[in-house]
């Protein structure tokens, strides 16, 4: 592992701990050359499918991108970072279990919306408005009315 301070390739591990998600190892290292300390993460390299976007482009699945999108929708809402990270880990596992080389972005978007709907209505509507690209207030209102109708049916 190269030192981020002096680029030397010799370092020693000072401390190792299991990562929060249980699927990675956090290692605290010390550079033998300069004495600088830094942290690395080690995780099993798993097959990551390509995501097929709406316009046909393909790009590798990016965990960070999914987390960032969810966090934007959940800004100032009662949804924790741990909840989001656990969900994205679960989502990654689902995609790997499918074993498909390509996954439509719509599958990911729909799963995110399902979970947001369980967590927080406001975060759900925020995400849906971007994901579904509402073109005007009428489309937005249709989504809200559908949610209100579902809520009313649950109470009945």
Q: Where are the domains of the chain?
A: 11-43, 50-155
- Predicted local confidence at residue 83, as pLDDT: 93
Q: Which CA distances in Å does 24 have to 30, 44, 84, 131, 149?
A: 19, 7, 17, 30, 43
Q: Give the SS3 label for residue 46.
A: coil
What is the token pair recorded at 60? 């590798």
pTM above 0.75, yes or no: no
pLDDT at 126: 87
Mean pLDDT by 10 residues, the chain (156 residues): 92 90 87 95 76 92 93 93 92 85 91 92 86 70 76 73
């Amino acid at each position: 592992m190269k030192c981020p301070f002096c680029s030397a390739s010799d370092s020693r591990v000072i401390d190792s701990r299991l990562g929060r998600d249980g699927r990675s190892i956090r290692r605290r290292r010390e550079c033998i050359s300069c004495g600088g300390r830094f942290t690395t993460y080690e995780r099993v390299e798993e097959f990551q499918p390509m995501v097929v976007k709406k316009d046909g482009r393909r790009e590798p699945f990016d965990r960070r991108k999914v987390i960032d999108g969810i966090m934007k929708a959940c800004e100032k809402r009662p949804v924790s970072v741990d909840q989001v990270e656990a969900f994205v880990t679960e989502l990654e596992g689902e995609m790997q279990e499918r074993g498909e080389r390509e996954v439509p972005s719509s599958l990911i978007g729909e799963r995110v919306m399902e979970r947001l709907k369980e967590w927080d209505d406001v975060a759900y509507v925020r995400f849906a408005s971007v994901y579904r690209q509402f073109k005007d207030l009428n489309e937005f209102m249709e989504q809200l009315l559908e949610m209100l109708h579902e809520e009313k049916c649950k109470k009945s």
